[in-house]
Amino acid sequence: MASEATKKHPWHMVEPSPWPAVGSAGAFIMAVGGIWYMHEGPIYGFLAGLAVVLYCMYGWWRDVVREAESGADHTAPVQHGLRMGMVLFIASEVMFFVAFFWAYFNSSVPFLSFVAHETWPPEGIVPLDTWGLPFLNTLILLTSGATVTWAHHAVKANDRGKFILGLGLTVALGFIFIGLQAYEYAHAAFGIKDGIYPSTFYLATGFHGFHVFVGACFLTVCFFRAKAGHFKPEQHIGFEAAAWYWHFVDVVWLFLFCWIYWWGSFGYAG
Amino acid sequence: MANGASDAAHHAHDHKPTGLGRWLYSTNHKDIGTMYIVLSIIAAVVGGAMSGMIRLELAEPGIQYIEDFQFYNVLVTAHGFIMVFFVVMPGLIGGFGNWIVPLMIGAPDMAFPRMNNISFWLLAAALVLMVMAGLTGSGPGTGWTVYPPLSNADFHSDAAVDFGILSLHLAGASSVLGAINFITTILNMRATGMTLHRMPLFVWSILVTAFLLLLAIPVLAGALTMLLTDRNFGTAFFSPEGGGDPILWQHLFWFFGHPEVYIMVLPAFGVISQIVSTFSRKPVFGYLGMAYAMIAIGFIGFIVWAHHMNAVGLDVNTRAYFVAATMVIAVPTGVKIFSWIATMWGGSLRFDTPMLWALGFIFLFVVGGVTGVVLANAGADMAFHDTYYVVAHFHYVLSIAAVFAMFAGFYYWIGKMSGRQYPEGLGKLHFWITFIGVNVMFFPQHFLGMAGMPRRIPDYPDAYAGWNMVSSIGAAITMVGTLLFFIVLFRTLGAGRKVEANPWGEGATTLEWAVPSPAPFHTHEDTPNVEAQPAE
């Protein structure tokens, strides 16, 4: 900033930016397009809005990365604020999943509601085999949690090779998880319209899968940034945020695995 | 631009950006706050017009104007949504929060200025979607609570409810991002020496509100998503034929909805605390108690949601718990009311316009508060549920008390925001007309409710005619008051007296009064030190 020399506070005074307006316009188009699609219209409107939103994300975060790498904007207090913002965002995400677990327990735990099923899964539902693909996916996500922590130690130790390797492994495991989830969906014995069990199952695991996708993309960006020489041992907020997000996604999965896949199949007589 | 790559852009930072870009691309908390206030006023005109139509229809028994009852339902629904999400929240949180919080804590701007702007523009997009909802097909006639099965595809088959859902999704995203921004700003960017226990109470109120938003809104987002997939993709969350549960919606909605009412009224508490202290020329009585009372209200607000569902058949133990928990809220609320009174006690009181609105707020909130205690009884609520008693209750606490706090804040800070002072006489006239109008409008609704008049119905038996006419006359008086507000607004901006940095004198001790009026584009470029200042 021109006032950099004279600036008497540590805060980042962000220049005017087109991205918020672009992103809001994109979200609006996506909403209208999505409604059009849901009422027998084509999907182009939704996709157009999505494209605008993605363009906004690209431009906005490109600017953030440049600001981070400029060295001047992200002072220590600003970094503290960025971390705080990420933690709060994750807290709000946790509450989003609370809604879906609430729906799940509302129909599966008898004393919680009048409609809760005596047997869970409800009659006629053949649940997935807990110790098959779901357990493999658990191992994959837990391993990816370890590799991302390994990458974190590497960047702190300024070991770029291991940092990039750790990131690459994490991203690969993340996408393998998504692939296996897609395979599982394709081979499940119940469709989304088959009542409350599939409703809670597909929305809870589906939103989790989407979050894995987002986290994997976030880490992919970090991977390429790492290759481009970004991140320093003492300043790597972008990566830290991605790693926190990844751990959050990991923990949500453990809840899904324990309650929906495992506990949720206890009542299945076979 | 963004990373300050070019010198030209560097200079842009030192000067006010101009033209449309100043607003569209804004990263300035004052400009964004102003946009929120303008949006709030525009939405208030729309939502207020709807309430005018409702009161016209209800003025006399029989059907006057609204032959299409679905349209009446749409009016009720849209009035609620617009007032909650597009008037009170943007006015108090987005508007005053943005404008005043950074000034009060000595920060040069919000923590995430770009994100601040998308919070605003998402809300603008949400407002357009909400208006589109009203204009699509037969409109959303669900009430703001959107209960299934009424809101499902069987009873609202066109896209209107989907527009409403997506509107709330965008408004919710706006609120969550705003909440993250406020919490980070307040926790991270305070002036030297301003510990949490020395923060002005308005800042405290926004901090607590932001936590409520952060934790409550995502649950609504989840519920709305379930409703959307129930309507369009064949899931069965709320449909018993698929094993789902309509009551689940009510739990999820009110787990959001009850904190939401504190989201609307906590910032009002903050505004009132500042004003009562300023015009009593005394620090707030029991400052710490006031701050922790807000935290207590915020916390308890999360564990009382099912008192909105007393009549749906929850078992008696559940209701007993929710009755008890609900009544507990009266304790911290009492702390606030009595502390405001104790602040005035022995103070050198000045009854400028902001103080009149603040006193009006305290009166209205007490009335709405005591009817709240009545309604908290699950037994009594079996009779009062869905009657005009409930309408009177929540309009006293929310619509009129919260709106009084907005007007109080407007008169208190307009000098700081515009550099011009409001006309005192007109301001007082505005207060008295509105105060009489809202009480004439809403107080008789208690009688109507106790006599059993149901809410959300466009017609009623002749027995209810008298008080309904009185109520509608009150609405007309209020409308005159509202017109007066616009005269005040234009007189202030067009011909208001130029105002000094602190027009209120020694009572106004918070940092916003230390910067010139109007507050320059950038303020607190040198972090203030409040080490020496006594805690409020």
pLDDT in tens, B426-437: 999 999 999 999
Angle between helices B353-376 and B424-450 (to 10 degrees): 10
Please, which pLDDT band fits residue B14 given cuts at 50, 70 and 90? low
Check pLDDT > 60 for residue B12: no
To 10 degrees, what angle do helices A76-108 and B201-232 make? 40
pLDDT at B532: 64
Q: What percent of chain B has pLDDT over 90?
A: 93
- Residue B6 reports pLDDT greater than 70: no
CATH of A75-265, one of 3.40.50.300, 3.30.70.330, 1.20.120.80, 3.40.50.620: 1.20.120.80
pLDDT at B15: 65
Q: Residues B272-297: what's their mean pLDDT?
A: 97
**CB A8 within 8 Å of CB B527:** yes
Residue B255 CB-half CA count within 13 A: 23
What is the nearest CA distance from A26 to chain B, expressed in angstroms?
A: 10
Burial class (CB in 10 A: 0-12, 13-18, 19+), B374: middle
Compute the average pLDDT of residues B191-211: 97
DSSP string, A206-246: HHHHHHHHHHHHHHHHHHHHHHTT--BTTB-HHHHHHHHHH
Residues of B in contact with A2 (CB under 8 A): 7, 10-11, 13-14
When the pLDDT of each residue in chain B is averaged and rounded to a whole number, the result is: 95
- Copy the structure tokens of residue B419: 């550099």
- Residue B533: phi and psi, rounded to 5, are -75, 140
Question: What mean pLDDT is predicted for residues B403-424?
Answer: 97
Q: Which residues 6+ apart lie within 8 Å of B505 measured at CB?
A: B281
Q: Provide the token pair at B403.
A: 């709106």
User: Which residues from chain A sit within 8 angstroms of residue B313, using beta carbons?
Assistant: 114
Kindly report, residue by residue over A87-123, the tens digit of the pLDDT: 999 999 999 999 999 999 999 998 888 888 888 999 8
* Average pLDDT of chain A, as a whole number: 95
- Across the interface, do B234 and A193 touch by the CB < 8 Å criterion? yes
Spell out which residues of chain A touch residue B526, defining contact as CB-CB under 8 Å: 8-9
Contact A88 B11 (CB under 8 A): no
Please, which residues 108-127 of chain A have a Cβ atom closer than 8 Å to chain B? 113-115, 117, 122
CA distance B420 to chain A (A): 27
Q: Residues B21-35: what's their mean pLDDT?
A: 96
Contacts with A19 from chain B: Cβ below 8 Å: 114, 118
Predicted ipTM of the assembly:
0.96
Is A202 within 8 Å of chain B by CB? yes
| Chain B residues near residue A14 by CB distance under 8 angstroms | 2, 27, 109, 112-114
Q: In the prediction, which pLDDT does A86 show?
A: 98
Q: Per-residue pLDDT tens for B102-111?
A: 999 999 999 9
Instruction: Report, as an integer, the average pLDDT of B325-333.
Output: 96
CB contact under 8 A, A73 and B4: yes
Interchain proximity B218–A122, CB inside 8 Å: no
pLDDT tens, B367-407?
999 999 999 999 999 999 999 999 999 999 988 999 999 99
Specify the pLDDT at position B68.
Answer: 95
Give the number of beta-carbon pairs within 8 Å between A and B: 257
Query: Cα-flanking dihedrals φ and ψ of residue A66, to 5°?
Result: -60, -40
> Which of A11, A15, A21 is the closest to B2 by Cβ?
A15
State which residue of chain A sits closest to B213, comparing Cα positions.
Answer: A92
> Does B235 contact A1 at a Cβ distance shorter than 8 Å?
no
> What angle is formed at CA A196 by the lines to CA A193 and CA A199, rounded to 5 degrees?
60
Q: Is the pLDDT of residue B528 over 70?
A: yes
Phi, psi (deg, nearest 5) at residue B16: -65, 130
- Interface mutation target, options A50, A86, A199, chain B, most CBs of B under 10 Å: A199
Residue B535, pLDDT above cutoff 70 = no
**Cα atoms in the Cβ-side hemisphere of radius 13 Å centred on B433:** 18
Whether pLDDT at B5 is above 70: no
Model confidence pLDDT, tens digit, residues A150-176: 999 999 999 999 999 999 999 999 999
* CB of B373 less than 8 A from some CB of A: no
State how far the Cα of B26 lies from the Cα of A213, in Å rounded to an integer: 31
Q: How far is CA B373 from CA A130, B381, B514, in A?
A: 49, 10, 41
Residues of chain A with CATH 1.20.120.80: 75-265
Catalytic residues of B: 79, 109, 144, 174-175, 258, 260, 262, 273, 307-308, 333, 336, 455
| pLDDT score at A116 | 86
Q: Return residue ranges of chain A for CATH 1.10.287.70.
A: 18-73
**Site from A15, A100, A102 to mutate, B interface, most B CB atoms within 10 angstroms:** A15
Output B457-465 pairs: Cβ under 8 A, ≥24 positions apart: B458/B57, B458/B58, B458/B63, B458/B66, B458/B69, B458/B72, B459/B61, B459/B62, B459/B63, B460/B58, B460/B61, B461/B61, B462/B61, B464/B61, B465/B60, B465/B61
pTM of the predicted protein model: 0.95
Instruction: Please report the pLDDT score of residue B485 as a whole number.
Output: 98
What are the tens digits of pLDDT across the range B439-467? 999 999 999 999 999 999 999 999 999 99
CB contact (8 A) between residue A24 and residue B121: yes
Q: What is the pLDDT of residues B85-100, one digit of tens each?
A: 999 999 999 999 999 9
The answer to whether A35 contacts B163, with C-beta atoms less than 8 Å apart, is: yes
Closest-CA distance of chain B to residue A228, Å: 18
Contact flag A92-B217 (C-beta cutoff 8 Å): yes
Contact B114 A197 (CB under 8 A): no
B180:A18 CB<8 A: no
Residues 3-22, chain B: which have Cβ within 8 Å of A? 3-5, 7, 9-14, 17, 21-22
Is the pLDDT score of B10 beyond 50?
no
Is the per-residue pLDDT at B527 higher than 90?
A: no
Q: Is the pLDDT of residue A140 over 50?
A: yes
Q: Looking at chain A, which residue has its C-alpha nearest residue B313?
A: A114
Look at A95 and B522 and tell me if their CB atoms are within 8 Å: no
Residue in chain B lying closest to A119 (CA)? B243
Measured distance CA(B114)–CA(B107) in Å, rounded: 16
Instruction: Kindly determine whether residue B183 and residue A88, on different chains, have CB atoms separated by under 8 Å.
Output: yes
Chain centroid to Cα A128, Å, comes to: 23
Single-letter amino acid code for the residue at B387: T
Q: Is the pLDDT of residue A270 over 80?
A: no
Tell me how far CA of residue B43 lies from CA of A78, B37, B84, B89, in angstroms.
35, 10, 10, 11
Q: Looking at the partner chain, which of A24, A91, A200 has a beta carbon nearest the beta carbon of B118?
A: A24
Chain B within 8 Å of A91 (Cβ-Cβ)?
A: yes
The predicted-structure confidence for A32-52, as pLDDT tens digits, reads as follows 999 999 999 999 999 999 999
Please state, for a pLDDT cut of 90, what percent of chain A lies above it: 90
Torsion of CA B117, B118, B119, B122, to 10 degrees: 130
Average pLDDT of span B475-485 = 97
Structure confidence by residue, pLDDT tens digits, A212-232: 999 999 999 999 999 999 999
Whether B124 and A91 lie within 8 Å, measured CB to CB: no
A18-73 is classed in which CATH architecture?
Orthogonal Bundle (1.10)
The Cβ of residue B219 has, within 10 Å, a number of other Cβ atoms equal to 28
Q: How far is the alpha carbon of B21 from chain A, nearest alpha carbon, in Å?
A: 8
